[in-house]
Chain A
């Protein structure tokens, strides 16, 4: 066999080095601006549709207006597989300086030591906001051992949206009337759903993710996890009753399961085309619904089965965190404090916004919402709600657990598994992950 000639070998090495030399280093850097001062460049990674990104940019522009020496670039990453992309880039030490993170991602990031503790900075004069401005229930998994690693820039408490036209056509009393009488409970919910079904439409689109299950369970004063984050579903009859309630809603066709709808025929599309009386969600549906002038809808809290007018609901949030390995941690924290401050929140969550402010003091009047809808129900829910990863919804702390619970409940909604088997399996997967 011929040996590789030495000159060929050197040539190849040279070629490889040439290719490596051509690659670009994308680390953040300092540069000098026109005025001669030093500019700090930061990147902020987030998910969002084009409209949402425009809203984020408003707060970024506000910050850069006040801090001309700090430049923040918004990097948008598709929400699909966002977490995987974020974790991979952080593992490769090429992560963004500031980033949005989902609730279940925070415990992972805290364990890995890649997120910056924020308490000291937020207590300093440099900060635009104070941690006391935020409800305790909103910190959830972003706070560990009394150290805060992430702050929610807004909040999205769950309410029921109801389509007035569908209710009228079905001859059903509106949820608001039941609510005013103090009777907006599970029985009333079943009653209106049945009427809507009789009119040839569907009462509710049932979705399968944490904010829905927990909101239904809590509406019956049930618990899957207790205040200490221990799983109690196996002995909690109220929670079991809520599983049966959800199961029966779908099986009796008062609700249609979102998982069996074809692509494009989503929850929002069914609601806007007057096919369904109610859907559950946060404020993210609102901008789209408001553009549809023919659609008449309003908000109502989740119906309860406890005799109380309202119970706690899930509050989907995202966290803004700072990469502890970035070269400009102080500037990054300053930006985060602005982004989550009253000024930063008002420009993002004002009219046309897709979430509520997470700062307690910003109320429905501050939103300049000129419609006659009962947006105050969302604000009320914000005060009493819990985020994913709070002790009452602890599953977000265990990687993969949420996916496994979703898969089990999926079978129940698809009619492949009864409610009792589903409860047993949910308990089983939780115990497996938390042992």
Chain B
């Protein structure tokens, strides 16, 4: 028998994923990297212009506006989203009829971002939206959520938190179920109360999951686009203009492919740095079961 035979089947099974990665991720990445050093409008020959696109990008106020908007969005979505999904998953770990609740909370995740965006346009409409109607019942004059420059990012953040809740919750649930009951039993014998168990067993043993969820949420926050695209088109006055929106506009509205690619590469580097920093500091707060 050929002793390499099992390897062949291994490669066969990973081939679709590998080919997908190659065609849809690695080749475009290298292509975008090359494009970022050119002046190209999509037609004709490339003209290499060195680092000019990167310099232009850093001097472009719209790039900084997009960056600030994205960071503001991230600051809202990451902690609040993670906190709520953690609390929900703990609640849903033991509650009666938990399967049904889990389905309810997970449902938004399988809905397309465009549909969710359109529904929220209705909910958040300042004049006729149901949210402001409900607020009016308790005497609050709701803001013009999507047309007020101050409220548009929080509005998109509300949508994203609701939309991403189910996904993070399922991951937290898996983490919770991976914690051995013996720790809680031992703690009960030592006389620990519910809060102490949560503080000294659940939270520390959930840190690897929290680490994963944090990284994923930060990456997806940097890439926020669909919601702003559907609901506000980056407006009003570019108040919801995010970094991916900037990449899109430069490529498909202004047709400056080189500049757009340089913005995409900068985003890639920022995400890489954020992720590396988190890995670097994980020793200080992430506890793995030995």
Q: B-contacting residues of A (Cβ < 8 Å)?
A: 2, 4-5, 7-8, 11-12, 15-16, 19, 81, 83-84, 87-88, 90-91, 108, 111-114, 259-263, 265, 399-400, 403, 407-408, 410-411, 414, 416-417
Q: Find out whether the CB atom of A114 lies under 8 angstroms from the CB atom of B236.
A: no
Q: How far is the CB of B46 from chain A (nearest CB, A)?
A: 12
| Contacts A5-B4, A8-B11, A113-B43; A403 near B237 (Cβ below 8 A) | no
Q: Which of B15, B122, B149, B255 has the most CB of A within 10 A?
A: B255
A416 with B4, Cβ < 8 A, contacts A12-B11, A112-B44 known = no
Check A416 against B15 for contact (C-beta < 8 Å). Answer: no
CA distance A400 to B62 in the complex (A): 13
Contacts of B252 on A, CB cut-off 8 Å?
A: 81, 83-84, 87-88
Contact B43–A114 (Cβ < 8 Å): yes
Residues of A within 8 A of B129 (CB): 262
Give B2 Cβ to nearest chain A Cβ, in Å: 8
Across the interface, B44 reaches (CB within 8 A) one of A83, A113, A259, A411, namely A113
A11 and B42 in contact, given A400-B249, A407-B237 (Cβ under 8 angstroms): no
B residues neighboring A (CB under 8 Å)? 4, 7-8, 11-12, 15, 18-19, 41-44, 118, 121-122, 125-129, 144, 147-149, 234-238, 249, 252-256
Nearest chain B CB to A364 CB, angstrom units: 37
Contacts A112-B42, A411-B236 hold; do A262 and B121 have CB atoms under 8 A apart? yes
Query: When the two chains form their complex, are residues B43 and A410 in contact, meaning their CB atoms are under 8 A apart?
Result: no
Q: Can you list 6 residue pairs at the A/B interface with Cβ under 8 Å? A: A81-B252, A83-B252, A84-B252, A87-B252, A112-B43, A400-B249
Q: Point out the residue from B4, B147, B149, B254 that lies within 8 Å of A400, measured CB to CB.
A: B254
A407 lies within 8 A of B149 (CB): no
In the assembled complex, the Cα of A132 lies from the Cα of B15 at a distance in Å of: 60
Cβ–Cβ < 8 Å partners of B147 in chain A = 259-260, 414
Name the prevailing secondary structure of the B interface residues.
Answer: loop
A-B contacts besides A12-B18, A262-B122, A262-B128, 12 pairs, CB < 8 Å: A5-B8, A7-B4, A19-B19, A87-B252, A108-B255, A111-B43, A112-B42, A112-B44, A114-B43, A260-B144, A260-B147, A414-B147
User: In whole angstroms, what is the CA distance A91 to B41 when docked?
Assistant: 9
Known contacts A262-B125, A265-B128, A407-B237, A15 near B43 by CB under 8 Å? no
Among A88, A399, A410, the residue within 8 A (CB) of B253 is: A399
Candidate in A16, A83, A114, A407 with the most chain B CB atoms within 10 angstroms: A407
- Shortest CB-to-CB span from A430 to chain B, Å, is 15
The interface residues of chain B lying within 8 Å CB-to-CB of A410 are 235-237
Q: Are A15 and B237 in contact (CB under 8 A)?
A: no
> Shortest distance in angstroms between B194's beta carbon and chain A's nearest beta carbon?
46
- For residue B241, give the distance in angstroms from its CB to the closest CB of chain A: 9
B64 to chain A, nearest CB (A): 16
Q: Distance in Å from the Cβ of B256 to the closest Cβ of chain A?
A: 8
The answer for the CA separation of A90 and B43 in the assembled complex, in Å, is 8
Q: Is the CB of A112 within 8 A of B253?
A: no
CA distance A400 to B41 in the complex (A): 13
What is the CA–CA distance of A15 and B16 in the complex, to the nearest angstrom?
A: 9
Q: How far is the CB of A2 from chain B (nearest CB, A)?
A: 8
CB of B276, distance to nearest CB on chain A (Å): 24
Is the beta-carbon distance between B236 and A416 smaller than 8 angstroms?
A: yes
User: Chain A's nearest CB lies how many Å from the CB of B149?
Assistant: 7
4 A-B pairs with least C-beta separation: A112-B43, A91-B42, A400-B254, A84-B252
A263 to B237, Cβ gap below 8 A? no
Check A11–B254 contact: CB distance below 8 A: no
Which of A83, A108, A399, A417 is the most central at the interface, judged by chain B CB atoms within 10 Å of its CB?
A: A399
Residue from A11, A81, A87, A114 within 8 A of B8 (CB atoms):
A11
Which residues of chain B come closer than 8 Å to A265, judged between CB atoms? 128
Give Cα A174–Cα B237 distance, bound, in whole angstroms.
Answer: 38
- With both chains docked as a complex, state the minimum distance between the C-beta of B94 and any C-beta of chain A, in angstroms: 41
Of A11, A83, A414, the residue contacting B12 (CB under 8 A) is A11
Q: Is the CB of A8 within 8 A of B122?
A: no
Task: Give the docked Cα–Cα distance between A90 and B4 (Å).
Answer: 47
- Rounded to whole Å, the gap between the CB of A431 and the closest CB of chain B is 15
Taking a contact as CB atoms under 8 Å apart, the answer to whether A16 and B253 are in contact is: no
Determine the chain B residues whose CB is within 8 A of the CB of A11 once the complex forms. Answer: 8, 11-12
Measured CA separation A400–B129 after assembly (Å): 31
Q: Given known contacts A5-B4, A11-B12, A260-B126, is B118 in contact with A407 (CB within 8 Å)?
A: no
CB distance from A385 to the nearest CB of B (A): 26
Chain B residues, Cβ within 8 Å of A403: 249, 253
Assuming the contacts A19-B19, A399-B254, asked whether A407 and B236 have C-beta atoms less than 8 A apart, the reply is yes
In Å, the complex CA distance between A126 and B8 comes to 62
In-complex Cβ contact of A411 among B8, B125, B237 (8 A): B237
Once A260-B127, A262-B128 are accepted as A-B contacts, the answer to whether A8 and B253 lie under 8 Å apart by CB is no
Judge whether A87 and B11 touch: CB under 8 Å: no
A114 to B12, CA, bound (A): 42
Alpha-carbon distance A4/B15, docked complex (angstroms): 14
A416 B253 Cβ-Cβ under 8 A: no
Q: Which residues of B contact A4 (CB under 8 A)?
A: 11
By the criterion CB–CB under 8 Å, are B11 and A91 in contact?
no
User: What chain A residues lie within 8 Å of B237 (beta carbons)?
Assistant: 407-408, 410-411, 416-417
Min CB distance A380 to B, Å, is 34
* Closest B residue by C-beta to A104: B253
CB neighbours (8 Å) of B42 from chain A are 87-88, 91, 112
* Inter-chain contact B122/A416, CB cutoff 8 Å: no
CB neighbours of B4 from chain A (8 A): 5, 7-8
Question: Once the chains are docked, how many angstroms separate the CA of A399 from the CA of B41?
Answer: 11
Residue of B nearest to A417 (CB): B237
Contact between B44 and A8, CB atoms less than 8 A apart:
no
Partner of A7 from B8, B15, B236 at Cβ < 8 Å: B8
Chain B residues within 8 Å of A112, by CB: 41-44
